[in-house]
Each structure stands twice: as C-alpha cells, then as structure tokens.
Amino acid sequence: MKQRILFVCLGNICRSPAAEAMMQLLVERYGLTDSVILDSAGTYGGHSGERSDPRMRRAAEARGIPMTHRARQVKEEDFDRFDMIIAMDDNNYEALFRLAPNRDAHQKIYRFRDFLRHHPNWSYIPDPYYEGHEGFELVLDLLEDGCTTLIEELKQPR
C-alpha cells in the first residue's frame, strides 16, 4: 500500500519543501520509491508558484539535498489525497485542524516534533525566514532527525 505524506509549514518556501526534499532522498536510499509519495504545502498562499527560498536551497544543496518544489497552499482536498499531514509548528497544526473537514481528516494531522529523537529541547521546527544562516542549518538538523525516524517507521509499519 502506498503511503502519501504531506509536509506543511507557513509559506512552503523553507521548512516543508526542505522536509520533502530530505525525505525524498531517504525514500530513495531505503528503496521505498514505489511505496511512498511526498509533497509539501503552506497554510499561507502568498508565495504560491515560487521556488523555495534561495537561503534554504543553498543550505540544503550544501548537504547534497536538491530542492525543486514550487510553493502551493494546502487545500481541503489534501485530506483525501494524503495519509499523513505533518505540521512544522503549532500554528500550522492549528490551521490544518481548522481546515480539516471531519474527524477522519483530523486524525491524519501530526506534528513534526513527534518524530524528533535527538532534540529534546525543540517542540516545533522554528521558522527560519527572519533568521540568519544558523536558522536554516538548525532547520536542516531538526528535519534530518525527524525524517530519519519517519523513514524507519515507514520501513517497519506498526
């Protein structure tokens, strides 16, 4: 059975497209390309159609992670199209909860922090948009931690 996963942040130009790109590499490395489908979206549509933030792209590409996503806004149909919808922070989580049309949809919403294993001090993925280079590096460190947990769970379904 295919697992369809949507990562969601605010603008869909920093955190969630980086999560998607990092997860795509892991999916390829684990030989799961036939069974996992990935995408990302933002709760705010103001950057729709844009490529990811160049600062995020540079930081990700320096780690060997190519980012090609074009931003889009999350929509109600996404709750039909995806099995897991993973929010980067509590604001995204709450926005998704408001958009979800029913109880089944609510149960598809997760927080990325629930997949962190090695960063006990972080309960969300911080928005790097107004931060310096370190902010983007921190995002990538956190994403690497959570995506590693996620791929292990996909490999060994509970």
Sole binder of ligand 4NP in the list 9, 23, 60, 96 (CB under 6 A): 9
**Tokens at 104, concatenated:** 């089944």
Q: Which is nearer to ligand 4NP, 49 or 157 (CB)?
A: 49
Active site residue 98: no
Catalytic residue among 53, 89, 127, 147: 127
- Alpha carbons 152 and 117: distance in angstroms, whole number: 12
Amino acid at 144: E
C-beta nearest to ligand 4NP: residue: 11
User: Contact at 8 Å (CB) between 142 and 20?
Assistant: no
Residue 1 one-letter amino acid? M
> What part of residues 38-67 is at the interface with ligand 4NP (CB under 6 A)?
42, 46-47
Nearest to ligand 4NP of 9, 100 (CB atom): 9
The contact mask relative to ligand 4NP for 111-140 (x = CB under 6 A, - = no) is ----------------x-x-----------
Cβ closer to ligand 4NP: 15 or 111? 15
Q: Which DSSP letter does residue 51 get?
A: B
Amino acid found at 57: R
- Radius of gyration for the chain, computed over Cα atoms and rounded to the nearest angstrom: 14
Compute the half-sphere exposure of residue 55: CA atoms within 13 Å on the CB side of its CA: 15
Q: Which residues are designated catalytic?
A: 9, 15, 127
Instruction: Give contact residues for ligand 4NP (rule: CB under 6 A).
Output: 9-15, 42, 46-47, 127, 129
